[in-house]
Structure 1
Amino acid sequence: MSSRIALIAVLILIFGSLLAYSQLRHEPLKVSGYIEAEDIRLGSRVGGRIAEVLAEEGDLVKQGQVLVRLEPFDLNEQLAAAKAEQDDQQALLNKLQAGYRAEEIAQAKAQVDELSARLQMLVNGPRQQEIDAARAELKMASSQLELAQANYKREKEVFEKGAGTQEKFDRVSDLLREAESNSVIRESTLSLLVEGTRQEEIAQARAALARASEEFNLRKSGYRDEEIAQAKAAVAAATANVAAIETRIGELNITAPTDAIVEALELEPGDLMPPNAPMLTLIDPKKLWVRAYVPENHLNIQLGQKLPITVDSYDEQFAGEITFIARNAEFTPNNVQTPEERSKQVFRIKVTLLDGRDKLRSGMAADVWLEPQGK
């Protein structure tokens, strides 16, 4: 009986000691949260019909890898038309910058010389030799007129006496009229030559020469700076249009911006996607962090501080670094578990994982130890 009492006493002593130790033992402070990853939602700014789906959920994709390809519709034709317009505007700019061809300038110079010579001829008027020749022709025409008048008078008298024929009288009459007309023409010609060129003709020749000279100067000077600037602006606009269409064509291929894992992808060829809408989601496995909430009375932490992190799946610690501390407090979320003061306000922190990224996964529950374990 006494041995039983002694055993009970030992058990009570052991239990009391354990109870006292548990009450006196200090458990290191930790906060719980979940591992999160950076989501990359990919889409296209142009949208369109799905032509090919080249990835599946769970695939590890490389940077630049094409994941989804859209049908081009009429973008290729738009690009061809835009490039043709660019070439046309560039050709016009090249023409303006090069100026007129040497043949065109020489042609304008020849026109100036020709009109200048004509003006000089009009200003100088007829030469003396021309006037003398006209006087001689008038004198000859006068002699022919006198002869024709004498023949007409003689033939008329013969005809009136009945000795001549009607045919012969008509012939000398025609010769008289022809001589009279020729004499008038020669007299008028001489009068014009003596009077010289009219002032209206000289003025007209001067105006024609001025126009030709301006055209010649214009071709020598080339095109105006304003015209070249306008052509350059047109080329720039056409080039920008080509670049914009090429960018839209580039948007037909949805590529991975970095090495990542395909998280969500529910597309089939033939599906229509609107512009700027997410088509698939990637997760960057190189960027994992724990979202946790720290009570206000344990906010003696700082950015850059290294903290250990544990998860239920592995019996080891992983290194983390505090990269964000919220400036504003908030009430404790329902999914946050802290050993104490759950009803008080907390501050959200972000602890970026420095290792274990090949083992840990987004969505895992994790504990962030604010104090070292084993104290």
Structure 2
Amino acid sequence: MKKIALITLLIAAGAAGAWWLDLPARLGWAEDNRSTVLYGNVDIRQVSLGFRVSGRIAELRVDEGDAIKAGDVIARLDAEPFQQALDAAEADAEALRATLAKLKAGARPTEIAQARAAHDERLAELQNAELAYQRAQRLRPAGTISQAELDQAIATRAAATARAASAREALALLEEGSRVEDIATAEAQANAATAKAASARTALKDVELVAPSAGVILSRVREVGAVVSPADTVYVLSLTEPVWVRAYVAEPNLGRVHPGMKVKVTSDTNPGHGYEGTIGFISPVAEFTPKSVETPELRTDLVYRLRIVIAKPGTDLRQGMPVTVHLPSPEAGT
């Protein structure tokens, strides 16, 4: 019985020793001197795609699960209202450009000749009125004409003088051309109309929804015939690249990682196939992760967030997939 008790005691002591030796590993206290293994999740960016203009959806060319390339046209709005707006804007711009050209060119030679002839006619009328006035002035002292007739001659001469002056100024205006201020105003209006036409042309191009990057369509939110605004999402796109891994490193191992370090990433789905990754970002801010441990010293561990860029992700890595990050051993260098 004593032998059996002694054997039982030795077995229990060995089990307790093995349990105690394995405790640091199970609690994460032990550090592998050859390599450090981190755990994280795949992080793939998603983009909500929509039109920059409001309108009615005329065509949706892709559906959920379809792979698309950057530059693919994946949806279109009804373009007729935008084409009509562009035609009207271009017509307005053309009219204002014609007005500007007219002001810059000034009066035509025939218009100047016409104004000069009108001026000569007014001068002839003035000369005739001047002769009539002088005649009436000579005849009035002798009583040959009445005072009323003299007054009429004076008024006729004054009116002829004013008409001649008006014709002279009109001729001068035509010969001088348009005012600088009028030309500047017309030029500004023409430029504004040209910009409005360019905006209408851009709006017409925006009736096509173009994929900004390669990826896979996750959601098709709208259907043909729906009226959408720029704030509405039509598709949700999961980008093919870049693919990142979000992982955390404990504070004691922080000195073993640095931006630019090459690491190996494996997934539970295909652990035999590794992906080459590069540490691109290490958070400068520590995060506290609570632990269910007994010792006060290890009640919380300081961890830092890492972002690892996968060089050639392929199609196997999916959003949220758990992965394992293998850091190189110190002997292998960085």
**Same fold at TM > 0.5:** yes
Matched, 1:279 2:222: no
Structure 1: how far apart are the matches of 2:219 and 2:31?
Answer: 50
CA contact (8 A) 1:291 1:349 kept: yes
- Tell me the number of residue pairs that the alignment of Structure 1 and Structure 2 aligns: 297
Q: Contact 1:293–1:332 (CA<8 Å) still a contact in 2?
A: no
Structure 2 residue corresponding to 1:306, chosen from 242, 262, 268: 262
Equivalent residues in 2 for 1:156-175, closer than 5 Å:
none
| Corresponding letter in the other structure for 1:78 | A
Higher relative contact order (CA 8 A, sep 6+): 1
Structure 1 residue aligned with 2:199: 244
- The Cα RMSD (Å) is 3.7
- 1:316 is aligned to 273
Tell me, yes or no, if structure 1 residue 91 matches structure 2 residue 47.
no
| Alignment deviations for residues 46-81 of structure 1 (CA, whole Å, 9 cap, x no partner) | 233321110122222222221111224633333332
Question: Which consecutive unaligned segments of at least 5 residues does structure 1 have?
Answer: 1-14, 129-133, 135-186, 335-340
SS in 2 for 1:209: helix
- Mapped pair 1:208 → 2:177: no
Offset of residue 282 of structure 1: 1.6
Task: Indicate the SS of the match to 2:168.
Answer: helix
1:63 to 70, 95, 98: 70
- How far is the alpha carbon of 1:34 from its aligned partner? 1.3
Relative to its length, the structure with more helix (as a share) is 1
CA distance in 2, matches of 1:196, 1:272: 80
Question: 2:204 and 2:299 mapped to 1: Cα distance?
Answer: 54
Following superposition, the deviation at residue 351 of structure 1 comes to: 0.8
The answer to whether residue 204 in structure 2 is matched with residue 227 in structure 1 is: no
One-letter code of the match for 1:83?
E
Q: Tell me the alpha carbon deviations over residues 278-331 of structure 1, each in whole angstroms, 9 at most, x when there is no partner.
A: 211222213111111222232223322222222221413322112222232223
Structure 2 distance, partners of 1:238, 1:212, is 37
The equivalent residue for 1:76 is: 83
TM-score by length of structure 2 reads: 0.76
Structure 2 counterpart of 1:322, one-letter code:
I
Q: Match of 2:43, as an amino acid?
A: E
Q: Distance in 2 between matches of 1:332 and 1:237?
A: 60
- 2: CA distance, partners of 1:373 / 1:54: 52
Q: CA deviation at 1:263?
A: 2.2
- Give me the whole-angstrom Cα distance separating, in 1, the residues matched to 2:287 and 2:76: 44
- Verify: 1:100 aligned to 2:56, yes or no: no
Q: 1:329 to 1:278 in 2, by over 3 A?
A: farther
- Distance in structure 1 (CA, Å) of the matches to 2:306 and 2:122: 92
SS in 2 for 1:41: strand
Report the CA distance between 1:85 and its aligned residue.
1.8
Give the SS at the match of 1:367: strand
Structure 1 counterpart of 2:305, which letter? R
**In structure 2, C-alpha distance between the alignment counterparts of 1:107 and 1:333, rounded to whole Å:** 98
Same amino acid, percent of matched pairs: 33
Which residue matches 2:129? 122
TM-score, length basis structure 1? 0.68
